[in-house]
A and B are shown apart, each in its own frame.
Chain A
């Protein structure tokens, strides 16, 4: 990979992917918890979640818990692979000989 995956590279989206990565395969996290983890506003997080969903990196499920609407997010297989590739890309850069200042 010569260039970073631009979908993941954006800082908020990177945090979303990092928050989802440690969850067991198929496990979901609620939107409100994700908001706390990422430190984003509702609107900002919603926009980035949509971008990741459009890329096929996450799956979004909307339902009701009692009478309250609930949005839950999980990492897709494609997203897990993409994130692992992105982390490997970062490690490759760090492992290169030191850059001259």
Chain B
């Protein structure tokens, strides 16, 4: 028996609702390992800064380790799709690297705190955009919280900014990643 218009409309509504939930879950699944990884890196990096560890290559080494880890997670996910490595992962990392290099060449941060605040704000924007476009409420909440913590720390808790970013920023990313994983 053919469907009525009401039945067809209801079926389309069910499809749309399920598709949206699926897209959100897919976003969480792709993102949570990166969050945990970068949470650990922030914890180490900002923790070392708070402890006045004066090793000039600290963030370079941590960033390279984090990028390699993120690259690996992207590779593993694309391998699960049985389509081989997606060149867009590498291209995305390269584009972000060029963007940051160009930005710092034109407008270099003047203080360590500005360097320290820039990356969390950039990451917050990334999470918020992903949350908006995939209707992933958890991602959006994480982005907003991370940005708020960073800005509050930068302006009002400057003396303890690195410690705040290690404990709340790094710890928050780790907890956020586990929160996404549980979805």
Residues of A within 8 A of B18 (CB): 15, 18-19, 37-38
Contact B19 A94 (CB under 8 A): no
Q: Mark B1-15, 1 if CB is under 8 A from A, else 0.
A: 111110011011011
Is B81 interfacial (CB 8 A cutoff)?
yes
Residues of B within 8 A of A27 (CB): 26, 80-81
Q: Contacts A14-B14, A14-B15, A90-B8 known; A23 to B26 CB distance under 8 Å?
A: yes
In Å, the complex CA distance between A16 and B95 comes to 36
Residues facing A in B78-93 (CB within 8 A) are 80-83
Is B25 interfacial (CB 8 A cutoff)?
yes
Contact B26 A99 (CB under 8 A): no
B11 CB contact (under 8 Å) in A14, A24, A96: A14
Chain B, Cβ-Cβ closest to A19: B22
Is B21 interfacial (CB 8 A cutoff)?
yes
A94 CB contact (under 8 Å) in B12, B15, B29: B12
Contact B22 A87 (CB under 8 A): no
Is A51 interfacial (CB 8 A cutoff)?
no
Q: Shortest CB–CB separation between residue B92 and chain A, in angstroms? A: 15
In Å, the complex CA distance between A82 and B11 comes to 15
Chain B, Cβ-Cβ closest to A99: B5
Is A21 interfacial (CB 8 A cutoff)?
yes
Residues of B within 8 A of A26 (CB): 81-83
Query: Which of A25, A27, A36, A91 has the most chain B CB within a 10 Å cutoff?
Result: A27
In Å, the complex CA distance between A63 and B19 comes to 26
Contact B25 A90 (CB under 8 A): no
Residues of A within 8 A of B15 (CB): 14, 18, 87, 90
Residues facing A in B89-125 (CB within 8 A) are none
In Å, the complex CA distance between A2 and B3 comes to 9
Is A33 interfacial (CB 8 A cutoff)?
yes
CB<8 Å pairs between A and B, sample of 11 = A3-B1, A4-B2, A15-B14, A18-B14, A20-B22, A22-B22, A33-B25, A37-B25, A91-B8, A94-B12, A98-B5
Interface residues of chain B, those whose CB is within 8 Å of chain A, are 1-5, 8-9, 11-12, 14-16, 18-19, 21-23, 25-26, 29, 80-83
